[in-house]
Structure 1
Amino acid sequence: MHDPVTLDNCADEPIHIPGSIQPHGALLAFDVANNALLAWSDNAPQLLGLTLALDLPLSALPLPAEVHEAAAECVDSISDGEAPASALEVSLGAVQFDCIVHAYQGRLLIEFERRDTPSDAVAAFALKAHSAIDRLKRQKSIDALLQLATEQVRAITGFDRVMAYRFHHDDSGDVTAEARRDDLEPYLGRRYPASDIPAQARRLYIINTLRLIADVNYTPSPLRGRAGDAPLDLSHSVLRSVSPIHIEYLQNMGVGASMSVSIVVNGRLWGLLACHHMSALQVPYSIRMAADVMAQVIASLVQSMEARERALLAERSAEVRTRVMETLLHEDDPGRALLRHAAALCHSLQAEALIITQYGKVMTHGDIPPELAARIVASLPEGGKEIVERLALADWPDHLRADLTPWAGMLGLRFDPATSGWLLAMRREQIHTIRWAGRPEKVVRVGPLGPRLTPRGSFDEWREEVSGRAVPWDATQKLAASQLLGEMHRASVAKHVETDRARAQLLAMLGHDLRGPLHSINMAATVLQHGGAPGTMSTRIQASSGRMERLISQVLDMSRISGGLGLGLDRKQTDLVPLLADLLDEVRTAHPDLLLQAMMPPALPALLDSDRMMQVVSNLVSNARHHGTHGEPIEVRLHAQDEGLLLEVRNTAAPIADELLPTLYSPLKHASVGNVRNRGGLGLGLHIAQQIVRDHGGELAYRYEAPQVVFMVSLPLG
């Protein structure tokens, strides 16, 4: 029985020690320690016209003098058993060769690659390559760079097709650029599985960045040498014979010759220039090296472009953090503050939706259902990490997986543990239909090497969905998330410190302000006990107790808002006009000297909590009375607009100072507390009014229209 066939059969194939070379050249290998011949290709005696034997000194071989000089220089430059390749043109008899000399693992390799292209033609192609490199440097985007690269490599090498692959985080690759013969089928836009390049081959692509197969149908020339010696490592060899599996792969595609040029960025195989020819094609070594230099230039340019992209993203992320921090420090509702910057946060975190939660309240930005958002929030851990990452359906609780589609990725930032404050960046799963260039799984069959995985038989398009997994956040995006979390932490701490200070201040003021009415009630009760005038005393008790009730109600409202409990609305279909008229009549009765003007339609029904909305109007009118110019009228305007209503309270006054605007709706403002025209006020009116309006789905806003200060309430009718 045969062993089970897996991808490891390909990945473990010893492609760096194939034991043979391609026959369009010959190879000699010497021991660096004594320059003695230890291996040669079977075709070397005939092709080079040499008589070879084991341990024959290099100096004894009748090779051109320049070959001996290059070999000596190579040996002198060896470091840690290695020396880079040097190339020269030589003639052996009537045959022209490119001679490549290099050292690896303590062995000196001299390769002779037969060349039929005249030297002047090679020089002309080299000039084209120089011009191409200059054009590459002027490209502004990676896509434009790769497209130009495929065109230029095809022009200088003569291949029928040149493709540029760009690899993904999972090592699958897209053909992102292509230059081809007009009659060939286009491969642009197709994706290839990571298994097309096993890990073993991927490592070799990084070590030796250019590989040529001059004739796919070649018969390998085996290496000769002493039996029992360690196999000759041909990782850097230009003539290295390639995997029979890969040869089959190319033959099934109808390819006659192939060349690959690696694009290595930061030590990783970032991309590949893959060249195909429909018949055999021998490309001179110097032209191949020109293509290799182009690939190195591309790698350098890609590295610079990606660095600029990362720098730009970091700069934009810093700007977003600054704006978010400013808003969080001045906004009483952190969730709303974050929602205001949701689009910018999505761009910074490369997310497609956001979920923001605090005090049990859930808000969303993007195409994610509120019900699903609430369930996602409920699945978050109670304690532990401040950053929680989920990338695949398998990372989510079982009960959520069936309902998550199309969402699979989440990067959760716990910005305020004390209030269960989370910012969740969401990513969709990769359910985009990919134009695979054939089956991603390989077909098992028994071939000359026994059971193994063979390449796909054709490039027929297959469609496969990549589902259940999101694209992971990269290091740059995670850094932006971590920095954002740090800023939000600082804002949360600052807000908690401010809240503690405000709570202490509130208790002190409340104790002081309640002492007055309590003293009045106590005195009135004493007078009544001793037979004083009941009418006057009962009026005083009623006024003092009413003032106490208002103070306590405001404090309770603020406590509910600060605790994230909300104000508990009871919405009903209500006509605002008669309610508003009654309230304004009460104000006129209580303040006979106040000029109060109303402009309202005959009727304006809306779905709202009438008591809470009258509390808003009362607070705004009280605010106008305390801060407006004495003797000038207060205007209350109500009218319908679009699918909502607009309520304005206007009073004549100087504009509110710019430095006070960020804290206009904050409780316990210095501008309100202790105001000589409102000695009993705690500065809570606008704070509570804003929360009531927001709970109705509306907005409370300030503007100045000289000479009037205007507060506007906009609400939806339904």
Structure 2
Amino acid sequence: MSAAQPSQPLGLDNCADEPIHIPGHIQPHGALLAFDGKAMLREWSGNAAALLGVAPAPGAPADALELGPDALALIAACLAELGEDGVPPAAAEVRLAGRTFDCVVHGTGQRVIAEFELRSQPSDEVAAFALKAHGAIDKIKRQKAIPALLQLAVEQIAAITGFDRVMAYRFRHDDSGDVVAEAVRSGLRPYLGMRYPASDIPAQARRLYTINTLRLIADIGYQPVAVHGMGGAPLDMSHCILRSVSPIHVEYLQNMGVGASMSVSIVVNGRLWGLVACHHMAPKQVPYSIRMACDVVAQVLAATVQSLDARERSALTEQAAGMRTHLIETLLHEDDVLAALAQHADSVAASLGAEALVFSQQGKLHVHGPLAPAQAAAIVASLPSGGDELLQRSRRDAWPGDAREQIGPWVGLLGLYFDPATEGWLLALRQEQVETVRWGGKPEKEVKVGPLGPRLTPRGSFEEWLDVVRGTAEPWSADHLLVADQLLGEMHRASMVRHAEMERARMQLLAMLGHDLRDPLQSITMAASVLQHGGEGHPLGQRIERSSGRMQRLISQVLDMSRLESGLGLALQLQPVNVSRMAEDLLDESRTAHPGVDYQAAIVPDVSITADADRLAQVISNLLSNARHHGRAGEAVMLVLERDAQGVRIEVRNHGQPIAEELVPQLFNPFKRMALHNPANRTGMGLGLYIAANIVQGHGGEISYRYEAPHVIFSVALPLASQAG
């Protein structure tokens, strides 16, 4: 690794400065020659003359070197294909100076690089090992699960190569790696189940693992051989099989007691998904063709992993598509958005990989799963106003300070801001994963001072080191984020449709209101004309009262609806109210206005609460009016007022059939379909109960419906002192 400046803090960023792709050295069990586009020798390793028996004269043409016809043919073929994209390696067996070499030639940039790697095994022995790889590939293809696939792969590679230990790493989202499969020689301590930190493989090493998927260090204690050249830019050795490795990596392996090492990358969709790491306790040279067989095994392994992942992703996509179809259909036909979401909570949670859900809109919450209401409220309170439509949190320290302790274990959040107009959120939640991690040694590196100044050193101990990890949840995968993004888009469109329908209903309301006002106003005008010529007590006076009262109620409901929908609220004016006297007065008014209705009462006297008297009277009047409209003719309407330790309960009862179950969730919604088509309430628009519910909630109370045969009962529970903010 390059020396860091004394003032620069040491960390993993410093490791990225190490130019490991241009080390300027090779391992000594082979020699290297590099030619330019005109086949002239430009770079050569210091051992080329002794090992190959050739004289590497600078600028000499390739065919002037005694490399043999097979090697020269590889070099010529590579020169013919040389271009910006490079030329993949080609290999042949050659004999030079009485030795057998694997000659491997590849092209990169403006160079053709020929590497001559010594081989001691005869060709028939190498071929036998390569045949084993074909059998391994067939077995790997038949695996149906990733854990079994990886275990089979390490066993097969161990059998092909003879390494003492073969491990399969699977990398996590933070680039740390778990040993998930292992084949180990008897007598060695197993590493299965241990985790290794991301710092063990710095970023530039990950890049090389991705583009050069197999690396061999035949002897950890080797002495590097320098690569000489004619000047210019350093030789890019990213694809070289003999490339010398980082001194820090050598030190790391020496600390593990390893004598030789081979790594085979598992690259899935262009990303380093995992790694097969092979260790031997003594030096070990694995012939190139056997290594290539292992590389093919790893490619089949990666393809199988990709296929299994794709199968899981396809199943998730199909499940999510079905969930979206049913959810959006319900949203478009259900008046209550939260109730519609609640109907599909199980399938939504499964598609998003969530342990709990919270649906929030216009201050109302619905919780699905083992989540306390107080925690749900704290989670909703922590949400930003506006901002990103897809909100992610996976760590406790990512939450606003006040919420970190209030949310309990629910540190993982995926928020879908599906309707900004009504502050509509769908929140998917995950609990923190408290786990004990078996690190393969303490993960932090240490700083030591060497000849080039301070530098990070690799870990010196690989004894098991336990760490309890808290405050983090499993991050949301790319697949779940895709599901969330698609669901968010569909919910956006459904919200726009709902808002368009609401706007049409508003226009319909105004049109109907204008029509309904026309007749009462005409009655008032005619009655006023007659009364100018008659005495008091004329029956038309009652007609004036009824018509003008109905007109006033319609106007008031429209104004209240507008305030609620615009977010202004109902502006409650709180003061002490004798609710018993209010109930009696309202009942008397109803008896006077509707003498044909049998009104009965059970009112506890002298009950006082803190409330807005006019708004509370509006609630009671609305419930009495509903009972009169919908009650069975000839049967009594009962007004009940009770007091207990919790507060006051007001109930209005009438004889009637129970409300259909599918309509109950819509009772307190505006513009209810059942109201728009109800002949018993010809002039109603379904606003009365909606406004009444908002008034009650504004007082910190609750309004509800139940059926106790033969009575339809609407009940209002209010605290003695209003909790309105």
Band of TM-score, shorter chain: 0.7 to 0.9
Write out per-residue CA displacement over residues 315-349 of structure 1, whole angstroms, 9 at most, x where no aligned residue.
33333333332232233332333233333333333
Match of 2:294 among 276, 291, 294: 291
Report matched runs for 1:33-432 at 5 Å: 33-48=37-52, 50-55=53-58, 56-80=60-84, 82-92=86-96, 95-220=99-224, 222-223=225-226, 225-226=228-229, 228=231, 230-390=233-393, 392=395, 395-401=398-404, 403-404=406-407, 406-428=409-431, 431-432=434-435
Write out per-residue CA displacement over residues 386-442 of structure 1, whole angstroms, 9 at most, x where no aligned residue.
444455555544444454554445443333333232333344556543222112211
The alpha-carbon distance between structure 1 residues 680 and 195, as it changes in their structure 2 partners (threshold 3 A), is closer
Aligned position for 2:612? none
The alpha-carbon distance between structure 1 residues 61 and 505, as it changes in their structure 2 partners (threshold 3 A), is closer
Q: Note the C-alpha offset of 1:118.
A: 3.1
**Structure 1 stretches of 5 or more lacking a match?**
569-578, 595-609, 637-646, 703-707
Q: Distance in 1 between matches of 2:349 and 2:677?
A: 43
Q: Distance in 1 between matches of 2:180 and 2:5?
A: 38
Q: Note the C-alpha offset of 1:684.
A: 6.4
Equivalenced residue count is 690
**Structure 2 stretches of 5 or more lacking a match?**
573-582, 599-615, 639-651, 718-725
Q: Distance in 2 between matches of 1:668 and 1:69?
A: 84
Match of 1:20 among 22, 25, 39: 25
Q: Distance in 1 between matches of 2:134 and 2:19?
A: 36
Aligned position for 1:454? 457
State whether residues 693 and 700 of structure 1, in contact with CA within 8 Å, keep that contact through their aligned partners in structure 2: no
Q: Note the C-alpha offset of 1:673.
A: 4.6
Matched, 1:486 2:489: yes
Aligned position for 2:16? 11
State whether residues 335 and 666 of structure 2, in contact with CA within 8 Å, keep that contact through their aligned partners in structure 1: no
State whether residues 674 and 680 of structure 1, in contact with CA within 8 Å, keep that contact through their aligned partners in structure 2: no
Q: Distance in 1 between matches of 2:715 and 2:151?
A: 54
Letter in 1 for 2:319: R
The alpha-carbon distance between structure 1 residues 15 and 492, as it changes in their structure 2 partners (threshold 3 A), is closer
Write out per-residue CA displacement over residues 198-253 of structure 1, whole angstroms, 9 at most, x where no aligned residue.
12212221221111112222233x23535756543322221222222111111111
State whether residues 253 and 458 of structure 1, in contact with CA within 8 Å, keep that contact through their aligned partners in structure 2: yes
Match of 1:499 among 502, 507, 527: 502
Q: Distance in 1 between matches of 2:309 and 2:706?
A: 43
Q: Distance in 2 between matches of 1:543 and 1:8?
A: 82
Write out per-residue CA displacement over residues 281-323 of structure 1, whole angstroms, 9 at most, x where no aligned residue.
2211111101111222222233333334334333333333333
The alpha-carbon distance between structure 1 residues 184 and 451, as it changes in their structure 2 partners (threshold 3 A), is same
Q: Which deviates more from structure 2 when the two are superposed, residues 420-429 or residues 159-168?
A: 420-429
Q: Distance in 2 between matches of 1:692 and 1:139?
A: 63
Q: Distance in 2 between matches of 1:533 and 1:616?
A: 30
State whether residues 213 and 257 of structure 1, in contact with CA within 8 Å, keep that contact through their aligned partners in structure 2: yes
SS of 2:290's partner is helix
Letter in 1 for 2:253: L
Q: Note the C-alpha offset of 1:256.
A: 1.7
The alpha-carbon distance between structure 1 residues 43 and 334, as it changes in their structure 2 partners (threshold 3 A), is same
Q: Which deviates more from structure 2 when the two are superposed, residues 434-443 or residues 374-383?
A: 374-383
Aligned position for 1:640? none
Write out per-residue CA displacement over residues 455-480 of structure 1, whole angstroms, 9 at most, x where no aligned residue.
11121222345555555545544443
Write out per-residue CA displacement over residues 41-100 of structure 1, whole angstroms, 9 at most, x where no aligned residue.
34444433x142423443344443322222222222322383221112233465433222
State whether residues 93 and 103 of structure 2, in contact with CA within 8 Å, keep that contact through their aligned partners in structure 1: yes
SS of 1:303's partner is helix
The alpha-carbon distance between structure 1 residues 380 and 664, as it changes in their structure 2 partners (threshold 3 A), is closer
Q: Distance in 2 between matches of 1:271 and 1:363?
A: 41
The alpha-carbon distance between structure 1 residues 231 and 689, as it changes in their structure 2 partners (threshold 3 A), is closer
The alpha-carbon distance between structure 1 residues 173 and 711, as it changes in their structure 2 partners (threshold 3 A), is farther
Q: Distance in 2 between matches of 1:348 and 1:712?
A: 39
- Report the aligned-residue RMSD: 5.5
State whether residues 4 and 455 of structure 2, in contact with CA within 8 Å, keep that contact through their aligned partners in structure 1: no
The alpha-carbon distance between structure 1 residues 457 and 151, as it changes in their structure 2 partners (threshold 3 A), is same
Q: Distance in 2 between matches of 1:657 and 1:390?
A: 38
State whether residues 669 and 687 of structure 2, in contact with CA within 8 Å, keep that contact through their aligned partners in structure 1: yes
Q: Distance in 2 between matches of 1:483 and 1:293?
A: 37
SS of 2:71's partner is helix
Q: Note the C-alpha offset of 1:169.
A: 2.7
Runs of 4+ in 1 over 6 A off after TM superposition: 514-568, 590-594, 610-625, 647-653, 655-658, 660-666, 684-702, 708-716
The alpha-carbon distance between structure 1 residues 512 and 322, as it changes in their structure 2 partners (threshold 3 A), is same
State whether residues 24 and 235 of structure 2, in contact with CA within 8 Å, keep that contact through their aligned partners in structure 1: yes
State whether residues 357 and 429 of structure 2, in contact with CA within 8 Å, keep that contact through their aligned partners in structure 1: yes
Q: Distance in 2 between matches of 1:167 and 1:266?
A: 14
Letter in 1 for 2:325: T
Q: Distance in 2 between matches of 1:294 and 1:348?
A: 34
State whether residues 44 and 229 of structure 2, in contact with CA within 8 Å, keep that contact through their aligned partners in structure 1: no
TM-score, normalization by structure 1: 0.76
SS of 2:325's partner is helix
Q: Distance in 2 between matches of 1:99 and 1:379?
A: 64
Q: Note the C-alpha offset of 1:183.
A: 3.1
State whether residues 321 and 487 of structure 1, in contact with CA within 8 Å, keep that contact through their aligned partners in structure 2: yes
Q: Distance in 2 between matches of 1:200 and 1:34?
A: 31
Aligned position for 1:603? none
State whether residues 161 and 275 of structure 1, in contact with CA within 8 Å, keep that contact through their aligned partners in structure 2: yes
Letter in 2 for 1:261: V
